[in-house]
């Protein structure tokens, strides 16, 4: 048995803590905010799994591979789809009440899925239901929980992670030893001016792992959700709304997605998001609209209760008029490189959930695979705790021409070279810079300009949560720009207007240049 420090309070962290405690390990769980405030509770769309007679894990596998634009790891995807149904049944045992109809579990259809296989809870409150059930479950376990505590850095001795430096609300940094650290800190949507993510999504785990010397990869692949409400806070409008049949229309009220892709509104997210972006550009920046008026007020309130309330609170009656939408940063496909059991390239360090680059998403995540990935690979990580990594799996974390790994070095993202930069980074400026030059469409000149601008900023001294987050965002911004510059092709969520062709040779070059 080992002493496990789990960092993060979403589905990945909670699942790890629960299962590790059940396995007899000593478990500490630390979360940056209150335990119930993780990113998971914001997930609306649901969780995908092949649970129904007209579906199969083979179909789910094919859909995931297709969405990943040639970079999803087949072995990892097989693990995801094959073990996914069992993990969904675990959630039910943990107390998640998925929506049911007369014939059993209800399911929905989302973009790029060939079958309706998305389970929901509370209509559009799946993440909140999962979070609540897992929080209640972990509180019944022998888990030491420490809230309002942020990861500052990892402790490394002789090439092995032996604990973490933790930042409390008073600004005091303490060292917490552990046999194993599991990073489950979520994504980095706050790199961008428009994001569907909450303010906690500042990439803390990925940045700390990189500083400690772990490999990270695929940071150029940032998924932009096509339908965030164009209102303060850019609240997400779930893909499930389009799955029910809502349409995208331009400023003239004309549907435009069928001119872009035969799947229309249910094309992969990267395709829909870029189509929305381009139509907005053609309209001088004016928003396009999501038209759900055909459903009626009663259906919208019953099927999407949380969304209905949020949209009405923003001043729109979406049962009577189309609502303005805009793309927004939503999910990081890249992260800390792991094997199939969550091990990173640093002994003693695991990563699960959005923090990790497990290989299942490739260049573009299939809708509703994120919650599934977190459950599947957190479960596998717990089973691997305390056991040595097989040699083959250790090699797997750093190999593969279809990757762009970036290891901790001053050449990759600045490092020591930028410590003497004149200005302390300003978060709002960084977010605007990333949105303008490293967003839905990129060009080499703009990426180079972003890299040069980032070089003029330095991280603040870590005094509190805000300054620690700003340091993480600056590190990840530099890494993301470096990866985007290295990948000269367009693939999945990474689109270069100066090289719009998907080119496997360019993928190989990107892997070599960024390493």
Give the pLDDT confidence of 24-62 residue by residue, as tens digits. Answer: 999 999 999 999 887 788 787 799 999 999 999 999 999
Burial of 90 (0-12, 13-18, 19+ CB in 10 A): middle
Residue 20, CA distances (Å) to 28, 143, 148, 393 in order: 10, 9, 22, 22
Query: CA-CA distances (angstroms) from residue 62 to 75, 78, 201, 331?
Result: 12, 10, 30, 21
Indicate if the pLDDT at residue 96 is higher than 90.
yes
Instruction: Please say if the pLDDT value at position 407 is more than 50.
Output: no
| pLDDT exceeds 80 at position 508 | no
Among 440, 455, 446, 514, CA closest to 482: 514
Question: What b/e readout covers 43-71, taking b as 16+ CB neighbours within 10 angstroms?
Answer: bbbbbbbbbeeebebebbbebbbbbbbeb
> 3-186+333-396: which CATH number, 3.30.428.10, 2.40.50.100, 3.30.930.10, 3.50.50.60?
3.50.50.60
pLDDT at 487 over 50: yes
Query: What confidence score (pLDDT) does residue 421 get?
Result: 65
pLDDT at 54: 96
- Distance from the Cα of residue 465 to its chain's centroid: 21
Query: Residues 354, 12: contact at Cβ < 8 Å?
Result: yes
Give pLDDT, residue 479: 98
Instruction: Given CATH 3.90.700.10, say whether it is the number of domain 223-330.
Output: yes
Mean pLDDT, the chain, integer: 91
User: What average pLDDT score do residues 456-461 get?
Assistant: 96
pLDDT digit string, tens, across residues 429-458:
999 999 999 999 999 999 999 999 999 999
Whether residue 404 has pLDDT greater than 80 = no
Instruction: Confirm whether 423 is a catalytic residue.
Output: no
Q: Give the model's pLDDT for residue 398.
A: 38
Tell me: pLDDT of 159 over 60: yes
The segment with the largest mean pLDDT, out of 100-109, 218-227, 498-507, is 218-227
Contact 192, 328 (CB under 8 A): yes
Cα–Cα dist 371/369, whole Å: 6
Task: Outline where DSSP puts E strands in 186-322.
Answer: 216-217, 222-229, 247-249, 288-291
Active-site option among 117, 176, 269, 496: 269
Q: What is the pLDDT of residue 401?
A: 30
DSSP one-letter string for 298-335 = HHHHHHSHHHHHHHHHTT--TTTS-EEEEEEEEEES-E
pTM for this model (two decimals): 0.91
Give 124's pLDDT tier (boundaries 50, 70, 90): confident
Least confidently predicted of 183-192, 200-209, 231-240, 242-251 = 231-240
What pLDDT, on the 0 to 100 scale, is given for residue 41? 82
Query: Domain segments of the chain: what residues?
Result: 3-186+333-396, 223-330
- Residue 431: its H or E element: helix 427-437
- Is pLDDT above 50 for 504? yes
pLDDT of residue 269: 85
Distance between CA atoms of residues 219 and 335, nearest Å:
6
pLDDT at 181 over 70: yes
Nearest in space to 504 (alpha carbons), one of 490, 493, 484? 490
pLDDT at 413 over 60: no
């Amino acid at each position: 048995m080992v002493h496990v420090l789990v960092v993060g309070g979403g589905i990945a962290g909670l699942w790890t803590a629960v299962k590790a405690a059940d396995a007899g390990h000593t478990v500490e769980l630390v979360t940056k905010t209150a335990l119930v405030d993780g990113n998971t509770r914001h997930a609306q769309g649901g969780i995908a799994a092949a649970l129904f007679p007209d579906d199969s894990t083979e179909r789910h596998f094919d859909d995931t591979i297709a969405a990943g634009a040639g970079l999803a790891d087949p072995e990892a995807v097989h693990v995801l789809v094959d073990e996914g149904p069992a993990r969904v049944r675990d959630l039910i045992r943990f107390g998640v009440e998925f929506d049911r109809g007369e014939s059993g579990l209800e399911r929905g259809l989302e973009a790029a899925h060939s079958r309706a296989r998305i389970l929901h809870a509370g209509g559009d409150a799946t993440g909140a239901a999962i979070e609540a059930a897992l929080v209640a479950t972990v509180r019944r376990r022998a888990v030491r929980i420490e809230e309002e505590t942020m990861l500052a850095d990892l402790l490394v001795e002789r090439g092995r992670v032996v604990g973490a430096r933790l930042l409390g609300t008073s600004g005091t940094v303490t060292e917490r030893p552990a046999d194993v650290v599991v990073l489950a800190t979520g994504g980095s949507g706050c790199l961008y001016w428009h994001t569907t993510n909450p303010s906690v999504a500042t990439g803390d785990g990925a940045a700390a792992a990189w500083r400690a010397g772990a490999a990270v990869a695929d940071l150029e692949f940032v998924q932009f959700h096509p339908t965030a409400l164009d209102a303060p806070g850019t609240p997400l409008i779930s893909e499930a709304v389009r799955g029910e049949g809502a349409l995208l229309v331009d400023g003239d009220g004309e549907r435009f997605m069928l001119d872009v892709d035969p799947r229309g509104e249910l094309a992969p997210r990267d395709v829909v998001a870029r189509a929305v972006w381009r139509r907005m550009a053609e309209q001088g920046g004016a928003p396009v609209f999501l038209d759900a008026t055909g459903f009626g007020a009663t259906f919208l309130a019953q099927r999407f209760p949380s969304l209905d309330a949020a949209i009405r609170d923003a001043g729109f009656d979406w049962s009577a008029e189309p609502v303005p939408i805009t793309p927004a940063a939503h999910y990081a496909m890249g992260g800390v490189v792991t094997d199939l059991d969550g091990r990173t390239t640093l002994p003693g360090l695991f990563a699960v959930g959005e923090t990790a680059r497990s290989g299942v998403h490739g260049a573009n995540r299939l809708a509703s695979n994120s919650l599934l990935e977190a459950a599947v690979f957190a479960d596998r990580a717990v089973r691997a705790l305390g056991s040595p990594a097989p040699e083959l799996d250790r090699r797997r974390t750093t190999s593969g021409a279809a990757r762009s790994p970036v290891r901790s070095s001053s050449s990759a993202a600045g490092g020591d070279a930028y410590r003497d930069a004149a200005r302390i980074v300003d978060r709002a400026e960084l977010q605007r810079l990333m949105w303008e030059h490293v967003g839905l469409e990129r060009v080499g000149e703009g990426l180079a300009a972003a890299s040069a601008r980032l070089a003029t900023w330095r991280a603040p001294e870590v005094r509190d949560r805000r300054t620690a987050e700003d340091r993480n965002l600056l590190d990840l911004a530099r890494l993301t720009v470096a990866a985007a510059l290295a990948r000269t092709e367009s693939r999945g969520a990474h689109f270069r207007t100066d090289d719009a062709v998907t080119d496997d040779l360019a993928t190989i070059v990107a892997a070599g240049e960024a390493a």
